[in-house]
Structure 1
Amino acid sequence: MIPSSLNPPQVFQKSTPRNVKEVPFVELADGRLQGVISSGSDIQRVYVAYFEARSLNFYCSTNNNRPCGGLRGSPCNHLINLLEEGIKQFGIPAILKYLQSAHDPTTITTIGDFLKLAGHITHQAHGAIFSRFLGSLQLLELPLSALPLPEMDWFAGGA
């Protein structure tokens, strides 16, 4: 029997095409639903946002650590966009399971239901989220090749 710590990560099927122009990066990682969201008003600006596991606390700021002006005690539009795209990518049950929510996923069928569960504004270092996004972008810059990519070794079940 394989120890649970060595099981490969679960792969989720997309049910709806994602809007990568608005939310170019969304993932379940580091105990969060996290991602990068494009600014609606400035093409040069992006926001980094997340919902934390268990508490569903949340935060949103620009990539240079300026707090989002829409964060006023509840999730801003960037967090709502992140959640919408996360639901398209993974589905509500998978998000709730990953975030270790004690709520019954059958009772949470809409974004509004999820937002009612949201915790409080928190502020933890989130530079790693933006860094992971930049790392993903670098992979897109690589020329096509039939050779294996060491950076993707984990994905193919490498050594």
Structure 2
Amino acid sequence: MQTSDRERASVVRVVPPVAPRKLAKVPFVEMADGRLQGVVSSGSDIARVYVSSISAQTHGLSCSTNNNRPCGGLNGGWQCKHLDALVTEAVLQYGVERVASFLRVEATDARELSAALNGTREPAPAAAVFSRFLRHLAYLELPGSSAPIPELHWFPATGVAR
């Protein structure tokens, strides 16, 4: 039995972003570990970033700096501007249907999705998200090459036809 080139390639098809994203504001967004989570730039200090997340199960809200200082804008069940930016960029990246389904709410746009979240402050592992973001940044520094990178054998590749 022969395997196709695709089966041997260790790649999967990438779903392109729904719309262009503002990488300067939200350079990293993912739906992983049961949370919508990512890294959001500070609006007031170029050297500061926030790790923000929303739990898919409970809508627990978390936002803190990369060195674990809590965000002053996240109070009780009110979302801070970092969480709003995270939701907006997630919708641009994955589409409102996919993000709403992941967070288990019904919404037709980012604003409606944010309004449907009724969580409270819930601690989340910011260090793990920030570490994953830094690891992704390190790959940008690698020289261009078509040779495989062993640790990325699972990583989705673009241009793979199905």
Q: Mark yes or no: TM-score above 0.5.
A: yes
Structure having the higher Rg: 2
Runs (5+) with no aligned partner, structure 2: 1-10, 158-162
**Cα 1:153–1:76, aligned 2, differ >3 Å: closer, same or farther?**
same
Q: In structure 2, what is the Cα distance between the partners aligned to 1:16 and 1:120? A: 30
Flag the structure with more relative contact order, 1 or 2, with Cα contacts below 8 A and sequence separation at least 6: 2
RMSD of aligned residue pairs (Cα, Å): 1.9
Corresponding residue SS for 1:35: strand
Percent of pairs with identical residues: 46
Match runs of 1:24-43 below 5 Å: 24-43=27-46
Match runs of 1:14-93 below 5 Å: 14-73=17-76, 74-93=78-97
Query: 2:21 is matched by which residue type in structure 1?
Result: R
Residue equivalent to 2:16: 13
Q: Deviations over 1:30-64 (max 9, x none)?
A: 11111000111101100000011121111100000
TM-score normalised by the chain length of structure 2? 0.82
TM-score normalised by the chain length of structure 1? 0.84
How far the C-alpha of 1:135 sits from its partner, in A, is 0.5
Counting matched residue pairs gives 145
**Cα 1:64–1:87, aligned 2, differ >3 Å: closer, same or farther?**
same
